[in-house]
Structure 1
């Protein structure tokens, strides 16, 4: 006799398949990008001297690989109990927070370099980043109470996800958007101040790259907030815990 599955079971299975395809695509593009720059990467790691910034670069560069591994495991591992799935999601969330924090620290260093490493600017930015990180962690802990873990009831559809119906999931991205907006504002202010003073190609390259990176970060943070808000309005719609940029 044919098995009967409810509409919710089918919707959950489709959501898991969509998340599996998404994580696979992200992993493919990330690995392709890494392979294309592998020679330059090895040259940099082998010949450059070891500094704190290089250590920060290595963490920022390679933690996303661990995030992608956890992401793929989450959606391709055989059906587990909700507790096991919740544990994997927690590890995935911690790695994502570390990755985002290290990425933002690079933006902080680039911005402070434009301000000639002004201590007041550096202290203000780092204090704001610390506050954003703590507030994001608190919002994530609070969002756990408004979410639950779902696994597929259909055979051969593996994986699990966390479904959220509240607004707490969008708070970290809103805070990140505000922080990045502050960084890009500082960059623009410095550019206006020194536009006629510094006639250096290197200064222009750093300025242009900063604005490009910050704009991408703003757009992706806004996209995360939009996706979290839209999907959280739909009952039993799976949403990714975090999106990496």
Structure 2
């Protein structure tokens, strides 16, 4: 049975809005980059030796450009092969997940640093982080590209790549895992911040966070 033409039109209008949001995201991304690239060259490229922190920063600094390009490409493709559509969509999703994982590693290392590298905190965070990442990656990887009448109708009518992840809760699971882990990091940071604030004669917590948390 043919899909409802109004449903197809509604999807295309929503996709049109999403693409404009993605264009705005690209503009903000480049605006932020050009605002800070001078300090990046001054303090990172000229002075900082290559280490784990610098490597992670470079990855999380430049990977969003690639991920955004892949996402736009997947949304703007018209009448490409279904195989190409699937590959572009999956590449965009996996790269964006990887970018989030790297950013969370940086936040995790910083929280461990403000806890003076406490072994229990580090071990607990490592276990929680690994479990949540594996759960999110498995949820995304298990999404199967199956025949989707709505997606096929979209492709036949407008040449739009079928929404591979639209019928799956995988991305929702990944975002829930992200929020859960961010809450853990926030709680640990607040505990340390309150303890630092109550300690007489202590230096600013912000200074500790940005200096000792390097």
Give me the whole-angstrom Cα distance separating, in 2, the residues matched to 1:199 and 1:109.
Answer: 22
Conserved? CA contact 2:136–2:173, under 8 Å:
yes
Structure 2 partner of 1:135: 135
Give me the whole-angstrom Cα distance separating, in 2, the residues matched to 1:92 and 1:147.
Answer: 21
Structure 2 partner of 1:174: 176
Q: Name the Cα RMSD after superposition.
A: 2.5
Give the drift of 1:173.
Answer: 1.1
1:24 paired with 2:27, answer no
Structure 2 partner of 1:33: 32
Q: Which has the higher strand share?
A: 1
Q: 1:71 to 1:85 in 2, by over 3 A?
A: same
Give me the whole-angstrom Cα distance separating, in 1, the residues matched to 2:101 and 2:147.
Answer: 24
Conserved? CA contact 1:77–1:158, under 8 Å:
yes
Structure 2 partner of 1:225: none
Give the drift of 1:166.
Answer: 4.4
Give me the whole-angstrom Cα distance separating, in 1, the residues matched to 2:192 and 2:101.
Answer: 24
- Written as runs of structure 1 = structure 2, the 5 A alignment for 1:36-185 is 36-43=35-42, 44-144=44-144, 148=148, 149=151, 151-153=154-156, 161-185=163-187
**Residues 26-56 of structure 1, C-alpha deviation per residue, up to 9 Å, x if partnerless?**
1111011101112112222222222111011
1:14 paired with 2:16, answer no
**Residues 184-214 of structure 1, C-alpha deviation per residue, up to 9 Å, x if partnerless?**
111111122232336213x234559xxxxxx
Q: 1:175 to 1:163 in 2, by over 3 A?
A: closer
TM normalised by structure 2 equals 0.83
Q: Which has the higher helix share?
A: 2
Conserved? CA contact 1:191–1:207, under 8 Å:
no
Give the drift of 1:140.
Answer: 1.5
Give me the whole-angstrom Cα distance separating, in 2, the residues matched to 1:152 and 1:77.
Answer: 10
Conserved? CA contact 2:77–2:85, under 8 Å:
no
Structure 1 runs of 4+ off > 6 angstroms? none
TM normalised by structure 1 equals 0.73
Structure 1 gaps, min length 5: 209-245
Q: 1:163 to 1:132 in 2, by over 3 A?
A: closer
Conserved? CA contact 2:145–2:164, under 8 Å:
no
Q: 1:24 to 1:158 in 2, by over 3 A?
A: farther
**Residues 148-206 of structure 1, C-alpha deviation per residue, up to 9 Å, x if partnerless?**
55655556x765533523444311111111111111111111122232336213x2345
Structure 2 gaps, min length 5: none
